Amino acid sequence: MMTLRNLPSVEQILQTEVAARMIVGFGRPLTLDAIRFVLDGTRARFKSEGITVLPSTDLILAQTESTLTAWTQPTLIPVINASGVILHTNLGRAPLSKSAIHAMDLVSRGYSTLEYDLDKGQRGSRSIHAESLLQKLTGAESAFIANNNAAAVLLVLSALANKKRVVISRSQLVEIGGGFRVPDVMKQSGAKLVEVGTTNKVHISDYEEALIEAAGLVMHAHRSNFKLVGFTEEPELNEIVTAAHGFGVPVVDDLGSGALYDTAQYGLAHEATVQESMQAGVDIVCFSGDKLLGGPQAGIIIGKADLIAKIKKHPLARAVRADKTCLAGLSATLLHYLKDEAEREVPILKMMSQTLKQVRGRAEAWAAELGHGLALSNVEVLVVEGESTVGGGSLPGESMPTFLLTLKVKSAEKFLRGLRKNNPPVIARTENDKVLLDPRTVLPEQEDALLVGLKNVLNY
Ligand SMILES: *Cc1c(COP(=O)(O)O)cnc(C)c1O
């Protein structure tokens, strides 16, 4: 009868060649941890489950190696997005342009002028980096970049409206997802929420009545992923601005997505642009870097110099400020807009501007490529019309026509699981038991990997 004394010791295992190789690959402390973890597990099972045969040293080594692999497997890895959702929040939103990636790479490699003034040879300001580009693009006097737009909104409210009344339309008290609720963010900032109007109808007189009592801000918030239809009415932004300014109260517009271009040119609904918001006379505009702008995760705050100065001085500004890679990538992205080359360079704009003919061509090329081996399997491949969506809390209910590669397989769910096991994993969707892949959101350089992935799951 075997006893636990027959189990090899940590020392004995360490003597083996395999263990030496693992130490080279994973480092000694982690390898030791893994060996102990496997031995402890074996002992526990021996005692509790009455296992009578102890594993060989070879088996313990194999278990140690798979433990080490599991422990060190990165969890944040690239995937191929064939879902047709352009700004997929779960898949990291906007892929970046080549220049943005290059700029981020350069500043990560070494030291940079993050807060250094080369002319003076002394400390400079981090907030200048994207500022002049934003000034030129939007006409704003000043800018501050936060880590994301949620942080930007929290900072703006904290700096400008702590303990003050903030007037906002009832129709804009939305939850944008991920637990970000406009009223909760207001409460967190110390602002006193003053709701005006009703859920569906808000009049300018509602704002005016609320402004008779002193207020710190009027807030306007994009409804994000939610749409108000039917018997509805809301004043134009410039009317709200006129009313607020009449009472000497500044207006903040949380645009959410914050496009610098007209989405209508891609057959989508018109989404309020940053420039329109500025032209309406808004004092502060906040928007995301990684939604319709197509840059890195950031919260962009632009507007009047005196208000931005207050925002920059608030203690939260330090806590939520953007890092150097974000500032580098954001600047490179903004430069595409300034040089009028965004549609050519910014991946999400390339995706939106892809013509139906181009998408169809790609889907048909994929089908043809798969067709060569299809005789071997009982899978039906078709190219059909479908819809892509923008996502990212913008343009609710809007979609753009596309062409999809559809695969009729035995189990669509099983097929999707197989696609997710690929390297890189492929994310697709299903409908009526069919697997759907939308070329619109697949980056051209990922097409080969996608086809390899599909062939892997199709088994040829
Ligand atoms: C998306 C969104 C935010 C949050 O922006 P993040 O960059 O995701 O933090 C805030 N407000 C609105 C209206 C949004 O659509």
Which CATH number covers residue 451?
3.90.1150.180
Q: How far apart are CA 208 and CA 240, in angstroms?
A: 9
Q: Are residues 40 and 182 in the same domain?
A: no
Q: Establish whether residue 253 lines the binding site of ligand 1, counting it when its CB lies within 6 angstroms of any ligand atom.
A: no
Tokens 């309020």 — which residue? Answer: 272
Ligand 1 atom nearest to CA at 299: 7
Query: Is 450 in the same domain as 323?
Result: no
Residue finishing a domain among 278, 313, 343: 343
92 falls within a domain: no
Atom number in ligand 1 closest to CA 223: 13
- Residue 131 burial (10 A CB sphere; 0-12, 13-18, 19+): buried
Query: Which residue has its alpha carbon closest to ligand 1 atom 1?
Result: 256
| Cross-sheet strand order for the sheet of 429-431 | 85-87, 380-391, 399-408, 434-437, 429-431
pLDDT of residue 245: 98
Q: Which of 343, 377, 398 is the last residue of a domain?
A: 343
Whether residues 249 and 381 share a domain: the answer is no
Examine the domain organization and report whether 375 and 246 are in the same domain.
no
The C-alpha atoms of residue 32 and residue 9 are separated, in whole angstroms, by 11
Are 47 and 186 within one domain?
no
pLDDT confidence of residue 375: 62
Domain boundary, last residue among 312, 343, 374: 343
Strands (E) in 207-250, as ranges, are 217-221
Closest CA to 82 of 455, 435, 456: 435
Q: How far is the CA of 41 from the centre of ligand 1 (A)?
A: 46
Same domain, 360 and 297: no
Nearest CA to ligand 1 atom 14: 256
What is d(CA 326, CA 296) in angstroms, rounded to the nearest whole number? 6
Residue 143 and residue 272 in one domain: yes
Between the CA of 258 and the centroid of ligand 1 the distance, in Å, is 9
| Residue 108's CATH number | 3.40.640.10
Residue 46 domain-assigned?
Answer: yes
Between CA 406 and CA 293 the distance in angstroms is 31
Task: Name residue 80's amino acid.
Answer: I
Question: Is 93 part of any domain?
Answer: no
Q: What is the pTM of this model?
A: 0.93
Shared domain for 28 and 56, answered yes or no, is yes
Quick one: which of 140, 108, 145 has its CA closest to 331?
Answer: 145
Q: Which atom of ligand 1 lies closest to the CA of 182?
A: 11
State the pLDDT at residue 346.
98
Confirm whether 137 is domain-assigned. yes
d(CA 144, CA 130): 8
pLDDT of residue 376: 58
How close is the Cα of 53 to the center of ligand 1, in Å? 58
Cβ–ligand 1 distance for 296 under 6 Å, the answer no
Hey, whose CA ends up nearest to atom 6 of ligand 1?
A: 149
DSSP state letters, 53-96: SPPPHHHHHHHHHHHHHHHH--SS---EE-SSEEE-GGGTSPPP
pLDDT digits (tens, 9 = 90+) for 347-378: 999 999 999 999 999 999 999 999 866 665 67
pLDDT at 188: 92
What are the residue ranges in the chain where pLDDT is below 70? Answer: 1, 225, 372-377
The torsion angles phi and psi of 122, rounded to 5 degrees, stand at -145, 180
pLDDT of residue 305: 98
Position 63 in a domain:
yes
290 with 181, same domain: the answer is: yes
Beta strands in 258-411 (DSSP E): 284-288, 299-303, 380-391, 399-408
Domain holding 53, by residue range, is 4-72
Please state, in angstroms and rounded to a whole number, the distance separating the CA atoms of residues 370 and 379: 10
Nearest-atom number in ligand 1 for the CA of 152 is 9
**Are 298 and 252 within one domain?**
yes
166 is a domain residue: yes
pLDDT at 233: 84
Question: Are 145 and 54 in the same domain?
Answer: no
Give the pLDDT score at 1: 60
Is the minimum distance from the CB of 153 to ligand 1 under 6 angstroms?
yes
Domains contained in the chain, number: 3
Beta bridge partners of 219: 168, 252
Q: What angle do CA 290, 436, 88 make, to 5 degrees?
A: 10
Same domain for 327 and 356, yes or no, is no
The label of the residue with tokens 């480092």 reads 27
